[in-house]
Amino acid sequence: MNPLLDPIRHNSWASAHLLSFCDGLDEAKLSTEEGSEGTYGSIISTLQHLLGAEARYLRRLSGGSPAWSTEPEDTTDLAELARMSADEAAAWESLLAEEFDPERLIAWTSAFSGAHTECRAGILVAQTLNHGNEHRAQVFTVLTELGIEPPDLDGWSYAIATGRFSEDPPRDQLGT
């Protein structure tokens, strides 16, 4: 088994569950900028950015693109964002089903600066995981400011939900 599968699957699972959780919020809460100081922005803009960046990382790693009629940054429809998230999860599974060389050099031209950019494939995976965790935490900040308890999306919750961890002994005896 590829050692990257659990971290990538956790990332995909956490994004999918956060999208599902946010589907219960009204448009005002999704788009509020209140309580978002120090974060990317509103809940919806952060989710759009999270998925859009992950799609770009996947494109660089795989050389392919999802067959989407629009980019995540161009839709506020949470069902559509959830579908895009599921597409990304499937793309990761496909990518990691093959032999993965973390030392493979990836090159691209930055859409933001126009600079020629290079890094190793393993760094794009690390950035994907860090980026996802960072922006999900920012959404948690906004939710908390709105008085909404965020869902549990940590590694333990993923492992329990997917049967890759047993809660015997109880979770509160494990530490963090």
For the chain, domain boundaries:
5-173
Contacts of 93 (CB under 8 A, 6+ apart): none
State both tokens at 55.
């799609």
State both tokens at 134.
């960072």
Cα atoms in the 13 Å half-sphere on the side-chain side of 158: 17
What pLDDT is attached to residue 136? 98
What pLDDT is attached to residue 69? 86
> Of all residues in the chain, what percent are helix, strand and coil, respectively (each to 5)?
55, 5, 35
What pLDDT is attached to residue 65? 77
- Fold entry, domain 5-173: Four Helix Bundle (Hemerythrin (Met), subunit A) (1.20.120)
If you average pLDDT over residues 17-38, what whole number do you get?
92
pTM above 0.85, yes or no: yes
- Residues 116, 143: Cα–Cα separation, whole Å: 37
What pLDDT is attached to residue 169? 63
- Residues 133, 11: Cα–Cα separation, whole Å: 8
- Residues 171, 66: Cα–Cα separation, whole Å: 38
- Give the tens place of pLDDT for each residue, 84-112: 999 999 999 999 999 999 999 999 998 88
For the chain, what is the radius of gyration of the CA atoms? 17
- Give the tens place of pLDDT for each residue, 32-46: 987 778 899 999 999
pLDDT at 115 over 80: yes
What pLDDT is attached to residue 173? 62
pLDDT at 167 over 90: no
Report CA torsion sign: 63, 67, 69, 75: negative
If you average pLDDT over residues 68-94, what whole number do you get?
95
